[in-house]
Structure 1
Amino acid sequence: MSLGDDNGGFGGGSGQTRTRLPEGGSGDPYDDTRRPPTARSSRSLITVVGVVVLLIAAIAFANRGDGDPEKTDANPSAARNPTAATGVRPVTGKTGPIPTGFAQNEQGAQSAASNFAVALGSDGMFRAGTRRTIVETTHDPAVVAGLMKRLDDSYSPGFLANIGLGADGTAPSGLTFVSRTIPVGTKVRDFSNDSATVEVWCTGLVGLAGEGSTKPVTSNWFTITEKLRWVGNDWKIVSSEQAEGPTPVNGDNRASTADDIAEAVQEYGGFTYAR
């Protein structure tokens, strides 16, 4: 899915993303049966918007922190092990829950792309107020107005109703709306001092968790390509697009109950991602 060259996005030299530090702290089972065509269509629509969501991050309340990444000696094993942490420490600055103040190098661009994917794939994208905050924090100011218009049109009351949410993007009483993106790895496709294209391979969760849910939480795999620009002493998204996969074969794990999924989402916090 493409948001256009003027609207916001995700993208890839070398290396892969590494998880750094965590930041937080008997319903009907989800069975293996296939849902009817109508349900699958709704699922596809949720996935499409869920990806657009990867363009804008969760709720941002705090004041912006000015991260000052320190350089360290490069890890000599990095060339042999692309998942090893390399020479730049993770950022310490944040705008709300979204990391900011990335290094002006390939590692910084990969970290920015990964964390932006997490923010844009959060449930905050489904609420007007937090959607704007996420977009403004992650995108080049030059593309924000046009992107916000498209996103506000996409997250219409009709669309939200189709996925089981209220007009304000909230879940019905007793249910928990889940929209979470987890980066698996990154690849730098192009890089210069003031621009980069980074691919972020992701898996994601989306759906309504809780007893009686007719839209259970399911997982999907996709790759987001982000075009980034160095703006205001930080990386920002200029445009992005998403493609399906790479998708592994499903395992034999038994699906958890709806209540177990809802509890897990509430109790397990997300991560900050960095090279």
Structure 2
Amino acid sequence: MSPGDEHDYRGKDQGGRPDDPYSTLGGTRQTRTRLPDGDAGLPHARRPVRNSRSLVTITGVVVLLIAAIAFANRGGGGDEDAAAPGAEKPGTTGSAPTAATGTKPVQGTNGTIASGFARDEQGAQSAAANYAVALGSAEMFTTESRHEILAMVYSQAAANKLRAPQDLAYSAEFLARLGLDSNGKAPQGSTFISRTVPVGTKVLAFDGDTAKVAVWYTGLIGMSGQDSTKPVSTTWKTWTAQLSWLDGDWKVTGASEADGPAPVPGDVAASKSDAISKAVEEYGGFTYAR
């Protein structure tokens, strides 16, 4: 479309510009040219050109939209085959750390914990994120469910080594400080909350059969109830896991944890206890895939 297409070419009697052959059109002082009678006048003669360009523009947008949808819906192996030679694959060094890799999420579960992770850096990160969620859940505060989680997340050797120390750590005294009874149960009318929400993951080392992955996360922990003296609060920590490829999946063989990085607290007012309890009951968690 040319700059003059949208200007008013009505006659003087119709409220348009005066019929002056030297009038300024868009500030250019162009001279109007009288076309043969068969062209039926300038405004009508140019409209087919403008419509054609609009049609081309619309068609182009539709084609681009269809191409974008097709690209987004392409399956696993085709993405790698279509990559340009020398181009970095998603998730490799140099790509945006918060960008999704495009690797499909795992489909399997081992109890309530995701399993069947890919044997690559992305799979190790996905495993670490999901294991952090399991190890930070409220189920860790009861003996039976804690043993089950350890067996699913850790290698057999590591789980056997950790079981007794973990039982000592979750002592009756420790549970009482959180408002729980000796079996890890909350008082009647109260809800104990413990959730881990990964913010991001980072591969610190990888060699195919072993990996070291850091998971930066925020957590919720505390007792929600009218008589609670331990209200739900947030934490910020980084959990670093040593992973090994064992029996067709990633397993934790060792781990450590450190505080932070922690942002400045926001200015959102704390919700009432019953609102927190209701949110925990109504909002489910996620399966994390890098």
TM-score in terms of structure 2 length: 0.69
Deviation at 1:82, TM superposition (A): 2.7
Which is greater in Rg? 2
CA distance in 1, matches of 2:252, 2:280: 27
Equivalence for 2:227:
212
Equivalence for 1:4:
none
CA distance in 2, matches of 1:224, 1:214: 28
Deviation at 1:158, TM superposition (A): 1.6
Query: Is the contact between residue 109 and residue 228 of structure 1 (CA under 8 Å) also seen in structure 2?
Result: yes
Equivalence for 1:52:
none
CA distance in 1, matches of 2:232, 2:100: 32
Which residue of 224, 227, 248 corresponds with 1:233? 248
Q: 1:203–1:211: structure 2 CA closer, same or farther, 3 Å change rule?
A: same
Give CA deviations for 1:227-268 in whole Å, capped at 9, x if unaligned.
Answer: 000010100000100011000001100010011111111110
CA distance in 2, matches of 1:261, 1:72: 44
Equivalence for 1:203:
218
Q: 1:274–1:168: structure 2 CA closer, same or farther, 3 Å change rule?
A: same
Question: Is 1:82 matched with 2:97?
Answer: yes
- Residue 195 of structure 1 aligns with an amino acid whose one-letter code is T
CA distance in 2, matches of 1:116, 1:77: 23
Question: Is 1:178 matched with 2:196?
Answer: no
TM-score in terms of structure 1 length: 0.72
Deviation at 1:89, TM superposition (A): 0.9
Say which structure, 1 or 2, has more relative contact order (CA 8 Å, 6+ apart). 1
CA distance in 1, matches of 2:248, 2:217: 27
Which residue of 180, 192, 197 corresponds with 1:165? 180
SS in structure 1 of the partner of residue 287 of structure 2: strand
Runs of 4+ in structure 1 over 6 Å off: none
Q: Within 5 A, what are the aligned runs for 1:4-23?
A: none
Equivalence for 1:265:
280
CA distance in 1, matches of 2:191, 2:243: 33
Corresponding pairs, count: 207
Equivalence for 1:133:
148
Equivalence for 1:55:
none
Query: Is the contact between residue 118 and residue 124 of structure 2 (CA under 8 Å) also seen in structure 1?
Result: yes
Which residue of 150, 153, 159 corresponds with 2:168? 153
Q: 1:77–1:233: structure 2 CA closer, same or farther, 3 Å change rule?
A: closer
Equivalence for 1:21:
none
Q: 1:71–1:160: structure 2 CA closer, same or farther, 3 Å change rule?
A: farther
Q: Within 5 A, what are the aligned runs for 1:36-185?
A: 71=77, 73-74=79-80, 79-185=94-200
Greater strand fraction, Structure 1 or Structure 2: 1
- Residue 73 of structure 1 aligns with an amino acid whose one-letter code is D
Deviation at 1:81, TM superposition (A): 3.1
- Residue 170 of structure 2 aligns with an amino acid whose one-letter code is Y
SS in structure 2 of the partner of residue 89 of structure 1: coil
Instruction: Give unmatched runs, 5+ long, in structure 2.
Output: 1-74, 84-88
In terms of mean alpha carbon deviation, does 225-234 or 86-95 score higher? Answer: 86-95
Identity %: 51
Give CA deviations for 1:44-90 in whole Å, capped at 9, x if unaligned.
Answer: xxxxxxxxxxxxxxxxxxxxxxxxx9545158676543322214211
Greater helix fraction, Structure 1 or Structure 2: 2
CA distance in 2, matches of 1:168, 1:72: 51
Q: 1:91–1:77: structure 2 CA closer, same or farther, 3 Å change rule?
A: closer
Equivalence for 1:18:
none
- Residue 175 of structure 1 aligns with an amino acid whose one-letter code is S
SS in structure 2 of the partner of residue 212 of structure 1: coil
Q: 1:258–1:91: structure 2 CA closer, same or farther, 3 Å change rule?
A: same
SS in structure 1 of the partner of residue 184 of structure 2: coil
Question: Is 1:255 matched with 2:270?
Answer: yes
Query: Is the contact between residue 90 and residue 100 of structure 2 (CA under 8 Å) also seen in structure 1?
Result: no
CA distance in 2, matches of 1:270, 1:71: 29
- Residue 79 of structure 2 aligns with an amino acid whose one-letter code is D
Give CA deviations for 1:106-161 in whole Å, capped at 9, x if unaligned.
Answer: 00000000000000000000001100110000001111111001001111112111
